[in-house]
Amino acid sequence: MEFNNNIPIYIQVMEKIKQEIVTSRLKPGDKMPSSRDYSVELGINFNTVARVYKEMEMEELLFTKRGLGTFVTESSDRVERLRFEMAKKQIELFVSGMRQIGYTKKDMIKFIEMENDYTEGDI
């Protein structure tokens, strides 16, 4: 994983794990690597991974079973809520960017429809 120097590493690792959860690369109940193993894999400090796991536990995306390890949430509702939060963030970025360059809501809808048609092979 390559890191962006402008964003804290723990945030980037959290986003990576969240992306893997919503795309089902990490499935409900999957065991996460130990903090030590994951820190070696990513080439980052052990404490950074421990912080990521702790924060993701507070967000109810991971849970720890004493003596067994850290696991991905088994709550499909929580995963769906995460998917919604991520989609909302992408839409907010898109709308904000389009407004900054002068596009209206109607224009944005046209762009979305055109992109959707293009990616579905209709053009």
Secondary structure class of 37 (helix, strand, coil): helix
Secondary structure class of 42 (helix, strand, coil): helix
Number of compact structural domains in the chain: 2
* Range of the structural domain that residue 97 is part of: 77-119
- Same domain flag for 68 and 115: no
- Same domain flag for 59 and 15: yes
pTM of the model: 0.83
* 107 within 8 A of 98, measured Cβ to Cβ: yes
- Same domain flag for 49 and 106: no
Q: pLDDT tens, position by position, for the chain (123 residues)?
A: 889 999 999 999 999 999 999 999 999 999 999 999 999 999 999 999 999 999 999 999 999 999 999 999 999 999 999 999 999 999 999 999 999 999 999 999 998 898 888 777 654
* 65 within 8 A of 30, measured Cβ to Cβ: no
Domain holding 64: CATH number?
Answer: 1.10.10.10
Residue by residue, DSSP assigns 75-107 as -HHHHHHHHHHHHHHHHHHHHHHHHHTT--HHH
- Same domain flag for 70 and 87: no
- Same domain flag for 47 and 99: no
